[in-house]
A and B are shown apart, each in its own frame.
Chain A
Amino acid sequence: MTETTQRRWWFWIGFGVITLLIAGGVSYLASSDPDGLDSATLQGCEVVESADGEELQGDCIAQHAEEHSLAGSPLADYALGGQDGTGGLAGIVGVVVTVLVAGVLFWFIARSRGRAPTQSGD
């Protein structure tokens, strides 16, 4: 292998490994506070701890938020089968699914390029 080919391989391996490490490891360091959008929807409400979990008191957008229609799915909320602490594994599954879905989609788009009307089709 030439030095350039080797360097090219390291680029792809490095990119892939870093992506998996972020999803599978760094994600455990994520803040669990609501993000900018979520906290905008909470303006006007107070989150009160009650017997049935957290409750919103007051008047805010988040009260209109509906339960996710797929909340019962096996990977919902990045928990494998609803188990706590499996977010990193769920993240790795997500990375693999995303790269496959995007890769197949982009491969088809790139392939259709050869059959574009502007090109001669031989």
Chain B
Amino acid sequence: MQGVNEQFLAMHMSDGIVNAPVSLLFLGIAVLALGVCAYRARTELDERTVPLAGLVAAFIFAVQMVNFPILPGVSGHLLGGALAAILVGPFTGALCVAVVLIVQALLFADGGVTALGTNIVNMAVIGVAAGYGTAVLVYRLLRRRGAVGVPAVGALSFVAAVVGTVCAAMGFVLEYALGGAATTSLGTVGTYMFGTHVLIGIGEGIITALTVMAVVRARPDLVYLLRTNPAAVGANA
């Protein structure tokens, strides 16, 4: 079970910890969701933003290799949903995370193959939706008070990443509740997942804030959150 290079594993759900029917159900949801994303990503992608979207996927792959300690004997790693969605848009962002998960599972045996559906739903769909939803909400609130500076974008990225990470973890709890192949109580799993992922979310938030701020400083014109939302706010103010 333990590989020689365990250090580099991002560590996602393995095969067998959620039963076959539930794994299949979530594979179906994942395929459907990614289809919608591929269709809707057409509104987010053009020749100017394709290179950033490709690089964001590669960056998430790289950073997921770096597990950071959160508690004695427990680590965490970036999921990347909020980061990708803020930089390249929610539909393209979900595809970025999904590509990373597929490459990890098929090329590096990291995250189960039959568990791909559950992993994609948790990190690419739920993580992105919750993270990006939070980012837009906070961004619009800040816009009402005036111009949003780089530190404020960093702060909202941090909050979005924490929310995205915790919600993605709750996706696993849901799948375990539906088809968990073990006797560990749902309360134990839920509480433990929530607690550890609040801590992982703080790490995710720091990485997300630093990365988004760096891109905003260098190329604000490429950042999806900034190039799409300002007009929508002014109309209501």
What residues of chain A have their CB less than 8 Å away from a CB belonging to chain B? 7-8, 11-12, 14-16, 18-20, 22-23, 26-41, 43-44, 53-54, 59-71, 73, 75-79, 82, 84, 86-87, 90-91, 93-103, 105-107, 109-110, 112-113, 116
Is the Cβ of B2 less than 8 Å from the Cβ of A103?
Answer: no
Range of interface residues on B (Cβ < 8 Å): 35 or more
Indicate whether B200 reaches chain A with its CB closer than 8 angstroms.
yes
The minimal Cβ–Cβ distance linking B113 to chain A, given in whole angstroms, is: 5
- Chain B residues with Cβ under 8 A from A7's Cβ? 218
CB contact between B42 and one of A97, A99, A112 (< 8 Å): that residue: A112
Is the Cβ of B106 less than 8 Å from the Cβ of A32?
Answer: no
Q: How many angstroms from the CA of A71 to the CA of B14 in the assembled complex?
A: 12
Please indicate which of the listed interface residues B96, B184, B189 has the most CB atoms of chain A within 10 Å of its own CB: B184
Is the Cβ of A35 less than 8 Å from the Cβ of B184?
Answer: no
Contact with A along B1-23 (1 / 0, CB 8 A): 11111111111111111000000
- Chain B residues with Cβ under 8 A from A20's Cβ? 62
Is the Cβ of A15 less than 8 Å from the Cβ of B55?
Answer: yes
Indicate whether B74 reaches chain A with its CB closer than 8 angstroms.
yes
CB contact between A23 and one of B9, B61, B99 (< 8 Å): that residue: B61
Q: Which stretch, B131-139, B147-155, B175-183, touches the partner chain A?
A: B175-183
Given contacts A39-B74, A109-B38, contact A22 B4 (CB under 8 A): no
The minimal Cβ–Cβ distance linking B2 to chain A, given in whole angstroms, is: 6
